[in-house]
Structure 1
Amino acid sequence: RSHISKLYPEILALIFSYLDVRDKGRVSQVCSAWREAAYHKSVWRGVEAKLHLRRANPSLFPSLVRRGIRRVQVLSLRRSLRDVVQGVPNLEALNMTGCFNLTDAWVSHAFVADMDSLTELNLSMCKQITDNSLGRIAQHLKSLETLDLGGCCNVTNTGLLLIAWGLKKLRSLNLRSCRSVSDAGIGHLAGMTPEAAEGTLDLEYLGLQDCQKLTDEALRYVSVGLCNLKSINLSFCASVTDSGLKHAARMPRLRELNLRSCDNISDVGMAYLAEGGSRISSLDVSFCDKAGDQGLLYISQGLFHLRCLSLNACPVSDDGIGRIARNVTDLHTLHIGQCGRITDKGLSLIADHLQQLRCIDLYGCTKITTVGLEKVMQLPHLSVLNLGLWQKQIR
């Protein structure tokens, strides 16, 4: 029998590629042959290096390059960001989440030439970043497909105009809690304002959670200009109303719509979605306290492509759930946590009709008993049941 030490380097590299990151590092310390195999680029394909940039380490970046690592997350930043950009020349993904001390000056210092390899940039919670940084990013990172600006509270409509000018390949943009952004900024992205030229028309995901200045006008811009959009998050956008959903219903490729905690969404909005021919497969109206059984009736009459429906804390009853269960039979995820009017009757209807259900949230449903639960647990594909602050894996 051959000992493992006699295996060809290519075979060792294949074996090492299945190890977790920590073990990949450990096997490289066994012997010189294993070290050579462990440094093969195939071993590290897709791995993200997590770095604390504190003091100079001359061997760090050559080591990353040798292993073919092109994805980097900076956990803490106490030296120049430019070291990363220059040290990993074919960088594909840079994650700076929570680097609170990152400033416009550091961004300007780092990005001084075009970087065609970089397709993902995460600046979420980098709260000192302003539109000035977005200008530099739009100028030099034109290959970006994913940009996360969640929590960057100093970003304004001007920054979105710069994005619209420069980042034509952008597919995913997260603007969560960018509270200075208004309808005009979304108009820039959609190419609907005179200044914006074409806009970022390839966008497929737009995260607008907690952008509190946005109104139905933003949805009008999106529906006309961003025809490729598949998913939009409008949760906590309190000024978006039922009228805005008329625009959302017209979007031919929209599949995911998050309206969680949108206080002005009601049953009427559900009617607009259903009557407008929306083909959404995922809808979240959790904590919308004006969306009740009548809204579920509208959904059951028109949103036949739904696979995931979240109704947590909505004023729905067994009657509404029954309409969904009988008519939207391909649902695989149903969240009805904190729906205090749901009883075992509702669970029985779910068990009888939603045979494809894989995940159900029943946290805080105070009127259900083990009788209803036992029926639900007989569903053939059910794998996740949430009854509290924990989830139970069924099988």
Structure 2
Amino acid sequence: MYSTRDRERKEGDRIQEKTRYIILQGGVNRFVAGAALQVPSPLLKVFILADLRGNSGLQGGACLPGWSPLDLAAMAGWYHAQQQQHFYGAPSNYPPCCPPSSKRRKLEKTEELLYTTRLRRGPVTFRPYSDSLGNTSQALESRPERSRTRKSHLNLDCSPSILENGECSSSYRAERAPEELGTHVGHLFPEVLTLIFEYLDIQSKGRVARVCSRWRDAVYRKSVWRKVEARLHLNRPNTTLFPSLVKRGITRVQVLSLRKSLRELVNGIPNLESLNLSGCYNLSDSALDGAFNKDLPNIKRLNLSLCKEVNDNSLGRIATHCKNLEELDLGGCTKITNTGLLLVSWGLKNIKRLNLRSCRSISDHGLGHLSGLDSQPSESLLELGLQDCQKITDESLRHLSEGIPNLRKINLSFCVSVTDTGMKSLAKLGSLQSLNLRSCDNVSDIGIGFLAEGGNRPLTELDVSFCNNVSDASLKHVASGMSKLQSLSMTTCPVQNDGISRISKSLPGLRTLNVGQCISLTDVALESLSTHCHSLEKLDLYGCSKITSKGLESLKKCPKLANINLNL
């Protein structure tokens, strides 16, 4: 007599053999076999969706009511083990199919249940993929989009090594259906986003900061705002403005309009390096007194151009508390006098660039202070702007040549009191690289001759536009003593074709030539330039009425020529 337990085991073995036979007899892509018996034994609850043509292992599966992940894993392990051992072969290896019975009817009902489930929930497939080691497979379930957001899904993790032994991990987790794979900007690391945002313009950087918190955190990194100058309207209090600038590492500020205290700006950005107050007409000396009342060692650039109320007292305060200042722009500050230059020379030992444009109260005595006449000279000064300083004479140039020998750039345009004698003093500046003599009416060919004495001058930029006394003789001096010249401006100067031909042969590195309104020039000058000046990049010919299309055609020989101006 068999016990109930033995009968269940025997019936289970028969159902398994019948199931195997059905699988092997089905010569189709996918064939369903299974049994769902209402018995305690889990081995009788079987469901498999097999791809008999593939070699990638388990290709299908489903979750039915009452079926646990362990049931599915067990049957998957059995199938894979038989596949690896070539257990399935000819159908003759298996017993013939039994006649239909109640068990077979239950099998068919199970198949109908699966079919109904697939119609309702859509196809269920497993997509195998290899991990980073290339020896592991993982089943990923995918469903139609309409069912992804409705329920969580089951994720089985089975490896071939386990399947070969007829076992499978019973661990599973319920999770949302995975998003579509692929690279998306939302998946990038913050460091990568930061590198991308560095190439955006300032307005775009502000826009991306409002997209989401991840983008805001990435765009607020200091490397994104490197060398960016914030332009502000300080017309009303804003408690969040300055902390935001500090967080982004912005140390350069330009104030477009100022109605509130400057002290809030200076105190709100402790690491301020550059402050541009150009055009703040209502900036008073008392406002500067309140802002510069403590040491500000980080400020290196200060622009006070067109601040009409800035005076010598303001310069004294700046010289006291901004010891590391390197650039100071005082253009248009008409209340600055020689005393202010004395304070600059006394306090700003690291000053490199000083612009005194249109400071018409400054005279030779003030530049004497700057050159060390009554104190130590500003030996660190490299660039000096004296444009439209009407009281500057040749005496000032003598002070500069003696006290500041390292001066590299000087702008003397519209200094009508400067003459050829001053050029003789400037010739002593062995480091001078850029000289602007525009509209210096008293400079002539003799002065240019002084500048070219000795030959091989380091001068690379020379502007003698609107100097009516500069002619072809000056070009002869330039050709012989300024072979390193790269930029030459001679607008309205009475030069001829011979002078242009001479410099074109002697200045192989010439890149910019401005000869606008030189009405004597013809196509001959252009042919000479095209033959010898192969480095020419910019040519100004406006007002040259004798130039024709033939001369312009010859300029095609200049391979680097990118800009030709024929109009006003």
Q: Please indicate the TM-score interval, normalised by the length of the shorter structure.
A: over 0.9
Of the candidates 200, 222, 237, which is equivalent to residue 400 of structure 2? 222
In the alignment, what sits opposite 1:110?
A: 291
Deviation (angstroms), 1:378: 2.9
Between the aligned partners of 2:305 and 2:496, the Cα distance in structure 1 is: 39
In the alignment, what sits opposite 2:465?
A: 286
In the alignment, what sits opposite 1:124?
A: 305
* Superimposed CA distance per residue, residues 166-212 of structure 1 (whole angstroms, 9 cap, x where no aligned partner): 00000000000000111111111111x12xx2121101100000001
Of the candidates 49, 57, 75, which is equivalent to residue 256 of structure 2? 75
Deviation (angstroms), 1:224: 1.1
Between the aligned partners of 1:10 and 1:355, the Cα distance in structure 2 is: 45
**Pairing 1:174–2:352 present:** no
The list of structure 1 runs, each at least 4 consecutive aligned residues, that deviate by more than 6 angstroms after superposition, is none
Instruction: Using the TM superposition, name which of 215-224 and 371-380 deviates more.
Output: 371-380
What is the count of residue pairs matched by the alignment?
386
Deviation (angstroms), 1:377: 3.5
* Superimposed CA distance per residue, residues 297-356 of structure 1 (whole angstroms, 9 cap, x where no aligned partner): 111121111111110110111111111112222211111011111111111111111111
Between the aligned partners of 1:274 and 1:157, the Cα distance in structure 2 is: 32
In the alignment, what sits opposite 2:381?
A: 203
Larger radius of gyration: 2
**Pairing 1:363–2:542 present:** yes
Of the candidates 291, 294, 303, which is equivalent to residue 482 of structure 2? 303
In the alignment, what sits opposite 2:346?
A: 165
Between the aligned partners of 2:481 and 2:183, the Cα distance in structure 1 is: 64
In the alignment, what sits opposite 2:100?
A: none
SS of residue in 1 equivalent to 2:443: coil
In the alignment, what sits opposite 2:367?
A: 186
TM (normalized to structure 1)? 0.96
For the 8 Å contact 2:256–2:280, the answer to whether it is kept is yes
For the 8 Å contact 1:77–1:101, the answer to whether it is kept is yes
Of the candidates 200, 212, 215, which is equivalent to residue 390 of structure 2? 212
Between the aligned partners of 1:11 and 1:314, the Cα distance in structure 2 is: 56
In the alignment, what sits opposite 1:244?
A: 422
Structure 1 spans left out of the alignment, 5+ residues = 390-395
Identity %: 56
Between the aligned partners of 1:313 and 1:335, the Cα distance in structure 2 is: 10
Between the aligned partners of 2:392 and 2:201, the Cα distance in structure 1 is: 43
In the alignment, what sits opposite 1:13?
A: 194
Between the aligned partners of 2:506 and 2:420, the Cα distance in structure 1 is: 23
**Cα root mean square deviation, aligned:** 0.9
Between the aligned partners of 2:358 and 2:270, the Cα distance in structure 1 is: 32
Deviation (angstroms), 1:14: 1.2
In the alignment, what sits opposite 1:392?
A: none
For the 8 Å contact 1:293–1:315, the answer to whether it is kept is yes
In the alignment, what sits opposite 2:452?
A: 274
* Superimposed CA distance per residue, residues 271-309 of structure 1 (whole angstroms, 9 cap, x where no aligned partner): 111114432111000000000011111111211111111
Deviation (angstroms), 1:374: 1.2
In the alignment, what sits opposite 1:28?
A: 209
* Superimposed CA distance per residue, residues 83-109 of structure 1 (whole angstroms, 9 cap, x where no aligned partner): 110010000000011111111111111
Between the aligned partners of 2:325 and 2:294, the Cα distance in structure 1 is: 14
SS of residue in 2 equivalent to 1:347: helix
**Pairing 1:40–2:218 present:** no
TM (normalized to structure 2)? 0.67
For the 8 Å contact 1:28–1:38, the answer to whether it is kept is yes
**Pairing 1:232–2:410 present:** yes
SS of residue in 1 equivalent to 2:255: strand
Letter paired with 2:293: V
In the alignment, what sits opposite 1:393?
A: none
Between the aligned partners of 2:419 and 2:183, the Cα distance in structure 1 is: 70
For the 8 Å contact 2:301–2:327, the answer to whether it is kept is yes
SS of residue in 2 equivalent to 1:377: helix
For the 8 Å contact 1:10–1:37, the answer to whether it is kept is yes
Between the aligned partners of 1:6 and 1:290, the Cα distance in structure 2 is: 69
Structure 2 spans left out of the alignment, 5+ residues = 1-181
In the alignment, what sits opposite 2:431?
A: 253
* Superimposed CA distance per residue, residues 230-249 of structure 1 (whole angstroms, 9 cap, x where no aligned partner): 10000000000011111111
* Superimposed CA distance per residue, residues 132-151 of structure 1 (whole angstroms, 9 cap, x where no aligned partner): 10010000011100000011
For the 8 Å contact 2:531–2:557, the answer to whether it is kept is no
Between the aligned partners of 1:349 and 1:2, the Cα distance in structure 2 is: 58
Aligned pairs (5 A) from 1:384-395: 384-389=563-568
SS of residue in 1 equivalent to 2:498: helix
Between the aligned partners of 1:265 and 1:279, the Cα distance in structure 2 is: 20
Between the aligned partners of 1:189 and 1:42, the Cα distance in structure 2 is: 38
**Pairing 1:352–2:538 present:** no
Compare relative contact order (CA 8 Å, sep 6+) and give the higher one, 1 or 2: 1
